[in-house]
């Protein structure tokens, strides 16, 4: 044991010495690399400065002239036309990606077909409106949520297409106006022979319902007027009888319910004048995602990196050429 112990100590000292030498060589290599980097930038300072100036100038020019704008239209598809709406938007998007300018100009109605870059539609998630006074929708959400994440369930197509409001997003190369883009798109979306017939019948049904409600309300008013006139000539003991008459209370509640229904039907009629009803729109939001608006920072760095790669390739090629000549 005593003989082996000195050998172990010597081996450990040798290992530590080698490790310290390797660490020293590593730091020396790092220092050499840093020096060469500094030397390269100092040697090529004028070229790099020129590239930076060109990159910043060109970046500013492109940021100003090559802007992309986002636009939004909030719509409400009526008469069960949600799937129809989504298929129409998908059709427009496919024609944009195909570069079908004839379709975009003549069918869609955009005078500058190359201006529009993309279009898509997404639902506005409103689960409270979805389950409001609809027990079956609430039970459906509960059932679907048992097998997965509730957020995923609410956003998947099967559920999201049943929301009332949806947002159409599209992009253009330049500023646009409601007349030049939104009106043609909405006109295209509302061109449907089938849903136009459904719309006509639905509006007629609502109007007939309102006429019937007005008739019933007038009849109830006549009944109440009769009760009031009778009550005025009656004795006090009979007046108590009328106040406690449950049928009279039911009539009053019916009238109140019909008046409320008339209010809702008038509001519904406002939204039933289109198959796809526009609720609001927002135009000309400058797109700053990705590299949009950032070229004045990206291009200078890109130009310098390309210059470095070219110089590195030239140096590597020369070095290998020298080696190849020595071998030959």
Residues 6+ apart with CB under 8 A from 77: 84, 85, 166, 275, 276, 277
**CA 114, 119, 121 angle in degrees (round to 5)?**
165
What is the 8-class DSSP label of residue 253? H
Domain boundaries, the chain: 4-64+293-327, 66-194+275-286, 199-271
pTM value is: 0.70
Sign of CA dihedral 299, 301, 304, 310: negative
Q: Are 74 and 167 in contact (CB under 8 A)?
A: yes
| Digitized pLDDT (tens) for each residue of the chain, 328 residues in all | 455 555 555 555 556 677 777 777 777 888 888 888 888 888 888 988 998 899 899 888 887 778 889 999 999 999 989 999 999 999 999 999 999 999 999 999 999 999 999 999 998 876 656 555 555 555 555 555 555 555 555 555 556 667 888 999 999 988 899 999 999 999 999 999 999 999 999 999 999 999 999 999 988 888 877 776 665 555 444 444 444 456 778 888 888 899 999 998 998 888 898 999 999 999 999 888 877 778 888 889 999 999 989 988 888 888 888 777 777 6
Q: Residue 31's pLDDT is what?
A: 81
Look at residue 125 and give its three-state secondary structure.
Answer: coil
Is residue 312 a contact partner of residue 113, using CB atoms and an 8 Å limit?
no
Q: H or E segment at 179? A: none
**Who's near 304: CB < 8 A, 6+ residues apart?**
48, 51, 52, 55
Please identify which residue in the block is written with the tokens 């519904």: 268
Continuous H helices in the chain: 4-43, 45-65, 82-98, 101-102, 127-131, 135-145, 150-155, 157-160, 183-189, 193-233, 236-243, 246-271, 295-327
- Contact indicator for 54, 303 with CB cutoff of 8 Å: yes
């Amino acid at each position: 044991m005593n003989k082996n112990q000195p050998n172990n100590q010597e081996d450990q000292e040798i290992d530590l010495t080698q490790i310290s030498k390797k660490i020293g060589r590593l730091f020396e290599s790092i220092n050499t690399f840093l020096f060469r980097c500094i030397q390269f930038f100092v040697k090529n300072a004028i070229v790099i400065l020129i590239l930076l100036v060109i990159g910043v100038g060109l970046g500013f020019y492109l940021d100003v002239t090559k802007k992309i704008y986002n636009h939004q239209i909030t719509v409400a598809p009526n008469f069960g036309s949600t799937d129809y709406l989504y298929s129409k938007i998908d059709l427009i998007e496919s024609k944009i990606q195909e570069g079908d300018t004839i379709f975009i100009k003549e069918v869609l109605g955009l005078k500058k077909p190359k201006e529009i870059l993309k279009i898509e539609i997404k639902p506005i998630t409103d689960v409270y409106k979805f389950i409001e006074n609809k027990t079956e929708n609430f039970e459906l959400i509960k059932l679907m949520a048992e097998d997965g994440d509730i957020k995923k369930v609410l956003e998947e197509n099967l559920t999201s297409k049943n929301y009332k409001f949806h947002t159409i997003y599209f992009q253009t190369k330049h500023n646009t106006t409601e007349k030049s883009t939104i009106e043609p798109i909405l006109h295209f979306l509302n061109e449907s022979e089938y849903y136009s017939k459904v719309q006509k019948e639905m509006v007629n049904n609502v109007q007939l319902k309102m006429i019937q409600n007005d008739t019933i309300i007038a009849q109830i008013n006549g009944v109440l007027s009769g009760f009031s006139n009778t009550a005025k000539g009656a004795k006090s003991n009979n007046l108590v009888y009328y106040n406690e008459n449950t049928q009279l209370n039911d009539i009053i509640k019916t009238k109140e319910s019909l008046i409320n229904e008339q209010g809702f039907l008038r509001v519904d009629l406002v939204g039933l004048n289109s198959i796809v009803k526009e609720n609001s729109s927002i135009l000309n939001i400058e797109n700053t995602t990705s590299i949009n608006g950032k070229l004045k920072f990206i291009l200078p760095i890109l130009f310098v990196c390309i210059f470095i790669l070219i110089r590195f390739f030239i140096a590597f090629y020369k070095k290998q050429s020298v080696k190849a000549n020595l071998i030959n």
